[in-house]
């Protein structure tokens, strides 16, 4: 599906040199009627030194959707002594998903604490820190498998590290929306919907999901 969208300053991008290559991280620095200026893309310490005339594929996340466009490199320049790549401004974008969150199966260690209400005092109680594994994840929530019993409606405080090359731990929270006891594997599975997740954290999760999807389609 094609749709017109607007590129915003500091929008995070993933850039690939066509016809095939790795995705490099960049961001939008300038936008005018004819062009878009981006930082020199970088991936694992390596720069993508694009040349005028080369074609690139660019992807970026807005809310719960991933957009893609292809563009031609127009030139290179410096702005305040910062080197920039000038791309031809796109007019059409391909949208890679609908508004519903894409969910992928992935196993990652996750630390969690539970907040429940004491039946006698009515006051909230915070549990010790437990460790389980994710079963799947989306921009709106995740599923955890563990051997510990939990209660639907409790709040979970999560510490999650994505295997995306970043050392930054995501600190998330949400309510347990459902609980399922798997008698065969003797595990408890429960779903958590994120509450008050920041746009930055949600964008990082969505970008991670689509990166994993690309890797799986290439193997």
Domain extent listing, the chain: 2-95, 104-218
CA distance linking residue 136 with residue 143, whole number of Å: 5
Q: What is 168-217 written as a DSSP string?
A: PPEEEEEEEEEEEEETTTTEEEEEEEE-S--HHHHHHHHHHHHHHHHHHH
Mean pLDDT of 44-60: 90
CA distance linking residue 40 with residue 211, whole number of Å: 20
CA distance linking residue 35 with residue 44, whole number of Å: 27
Which helix (H) or strand (E) is 218 found in, with range?
Answer: helix 199-218
Which helix (H) or strand (E) is 138 found in, with range?
Answer: strand 130-138
Q: What is the pLDDT of residues 187-200, one digit of tens each?
A: 999 999 999 888 88
Q: How confident is the model at residue 2 (pLDDT cuts 50, 70, 90)?
A: very low
CB atoms within 10 A of CB 202: 20
- The CATH code that applies to domain 104-218 is 2.40.10.220
Q: What is 2-95's CATH superfamily?
A: Electron Transport, Fmn-binding Protein; Chain A (2.30.110.10)
Q: Which two tokens stand for residue 42?
A: 């970088």
Q: What is the pLDDT of residues 133-156, one digit of tens each?
A: 999 998 889 999 999 999 999 999
Q: How confident is the model at residue 43 (pLDDT cuts 50, 70, 90)?
A: confident
Q: What is the pLDDT of residues 83-106, one digit of tens each?
A: 999 999 998 888 765 445 678 899
Q: With b meaning 16 or more CB within 10 Å and e meaning fewer, what string describes 136-166?
A: ebbbbbbbbbbeeebeeebbbbbebebeeee
CA distance linking residue 156 with residue 190, whole number of Å: 11
Q: What angle do CA 115, 121, 123 make, to 5 degrees?
A: 30
**pTM of the predicted model as reported, rounded to 2 decimal places:** 0.57
2-95 shares its CATH topology with 104-218 = no
- As to burial, measured by CB atoms within 10 angstroms (0-12 exposed, 13-18 middle, 19+ buried), residue 185 is exposed
């Amino acid at each position: 599906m094609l749709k017109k969208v607007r590129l915003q300053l500091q929008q995070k991008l993933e850039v690939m040199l066509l016809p095939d290559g790795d995705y490099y991280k960049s961001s939008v620095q300038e936008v005018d009627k004819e062009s878009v200026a981006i930082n020199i893309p970088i991936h694992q310490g390596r720069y993508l030194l694009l040349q005028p005339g080369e074609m690139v594929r660019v992807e970026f996340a807005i809310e719960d959707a991933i957009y893609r466009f292809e563009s031609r490199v127009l030139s290179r320049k410096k702005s305040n002594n910062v080197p920039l790549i000038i791309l031809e401004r796109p007019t059409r974008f391909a949208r890679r998903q609908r508004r519903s969150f894409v969910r992928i199966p992935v196993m990652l260690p996750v630390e969690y604490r539970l907040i429940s209400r004491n039946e006698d005092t009515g006051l909230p109680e915070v549990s010790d820190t437990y460790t389980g594994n994710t079963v799947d994840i989306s921009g709106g929530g995740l599923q955890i498998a563990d051997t510990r019993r939990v209660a639907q409606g409790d709040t979970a405080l999560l510490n999650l590290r994505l295997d995306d090359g970043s050392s930054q731990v995501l600190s998330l929270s949400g309510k347990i929306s459902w609980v399922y006891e798997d008698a065969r594997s003797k595990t408890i599975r429960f779903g958590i919907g994120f509450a008050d997740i920041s746009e930055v954290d949600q964008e990082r999760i969505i970008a991670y999901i689509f990166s994993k999807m690309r890797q799986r389609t290439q193997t």
